[in-house]
A = this chain, B = another copy of it.
């Protein structure tokens, strides 16, 4: 082991800024569970004493922690900054940025959603509890009721359905990524759907697809549920994908399944 190390060049020394050290210390305690959500950090002035640095330095550290979604600090709060429960906010921010700077188009996003939700359904068909199946049924019923109450209600119930499936997959990564990517996709095109003259028939078709998917999940037919879920997504969004890129998206449909 020492041999392997001996060959490699030394690690470059990276200068450690004071505020970075603070960030790392707090981050570490939060990640190790020593600082639990809801608990409070000392006030800024108190921290200047504890860390032996100036308030500016403490504040720079707090800004970073806040931007990472680890804490929240409000002016006047006598209890000091609050440790937040984990939320995929930071992840959502990163992916949103990725989408914007790399000019990722709807095609890739939809493709990715098909990939995620396909597998989510595959797993859900295996693992969903009766409660979760019931929740999916409820969401579906809610979608049906929302047909006459406008697209916004419908979309909300639709999200609930997909969310339940993702939960049932028992994979937090699938869950969070689905949530994030779904949010980005919706932010890109929900307005277009809401304004579409034929949105009623779009919703009806989507409802039918969801019913088929749920049926497959109930029958524990994972591969079928996966295929139906992907087809449903393609069907719903393909119109908004530039025609040239549709074959790429279809690739996930045509090839993988018998």
Task: From known contacts A4-B150, A31-B100, infer whether A226 and B256 are also in contact, taking CB-CB under 8 Å.
Answer: yes
Task: From known contacts A152-B4, A256-B222, infer whether A108 and B63 are also in contact, taking CB-CB under 8 Å.
Answer: no
Q: Which residues of B contact A30 (CB under 8 A)?
A: 101
Are B97 and A94 closer than 8 Å at their CB atoms?
no
Per-position binary interface string of chain A over residues 122-142, scored 1 when its CB falls under 8 Å from any chain B CB and 0 otherwise: 110111000000000000000
Task: Report the separation of the CA atoms of residues A109 and B126 in the bound assembly, to the nearest whole angstrom.
Answer: 18
Task: Report the separation of the CA atoms of residues A201 and B177 in the bound assembly, to the nearest whole angstrom.
Answer: 35
Q: Which residues of A contact B (CB under 8 A)?
A: 4, 19, 23, 30-31, 56, 59-60, 63-64, 67-68, 86, 88, 90-91, 93-95, 97-98, 100-102, 104, 108-109, 111-112, 115-116, 119, 122-123, 125-127, 150, 152, 170-174, 176-177, 181, 222-223, 226, 248, 251-252, 255-258
Task: From known contacts A122-B255, A152-B4, infer whether A31 and B171 are also in contact, taking CB-CB under 8 Å.
Answer: no
Q: State the majority secondary structure of interface residues on A.
A: helix
Task: Report the separation of the CA atoms of residues A188 and B189 in the bound assembly, to the nearest whole angstrom.
Answer: 38
Are B223 and A256 closer than 8 Å at their CB atoms?
yes
Task: Report the separation of the CA atoms of residues A251 and B93 in the bound assembly, to the nearest whole angstrom.
Answer: 31
Name the distance in Å between A82's Cβ and chain B's nearest Cβ. Answer: 16
Q: Which residues of B contact A255 (CB under 8 A)?
A: 122, 125-126, 222-223
Q: Which residues of B contact A68 (CB under 8 A)?
A: 67, 93, 97
Are A122 and B256 closer than 8 Å at their CB atoms?
yes
Name the distance in Å between A81's Cβ and chain B's nearest Cβ. Answer: 14
Are B88 and A91 closer than 8 Å at their CB atoms?
no
Task: Report the separation of the CA atoms of residues A252 and B116 in the bound assembly, to the nearest whole angstrom.
Answer: 12
Name the distance in Å between A59's Cβ and chain B's nearest Cβ. Answer: 6
Task: Report the separation of the CA atoms of residues A125 and B251 in the bound assembly, to the nearest whole angstrom.
Answer: 10
Interface pairs (12), CB distance under 8 Å: A31-B101, A94-B94, A111-B171, A111-B173, A112-B174, A122-B251, A123-B248, A123-B251, A126-B255, A223-B255, A226-B256, A258-B258
Name the distance in Å between A209's Cβ and chain B's nearest Cβ. Answer: 19
Are A173 and B104 closer than 8 Å at their CB atoms?
yes
Q: Which listed residue (B4, B91, B181) contacts A94, Cβ 8 A?
A: B91
Task: From known contacts A86-B98, A109-B173, A172-B104, infer whether A63 and B119 are also in contact, taking CB-CB under 8 Å.
Answer: no
Q: Which residues of B contact A88 (CB under 8 A)?
A: 94, 98
Are A115 and B174 closer than 8 Å at their CB atoms?
yes
| New contact pairs (8) apart from A115-B174, A222-B251, A223-B257, CB-CB < 8 Å | A23-B67, A67-B68, A90-B90, A102-B172, A123-B251, A123-B252, A177-B177, A223-B256
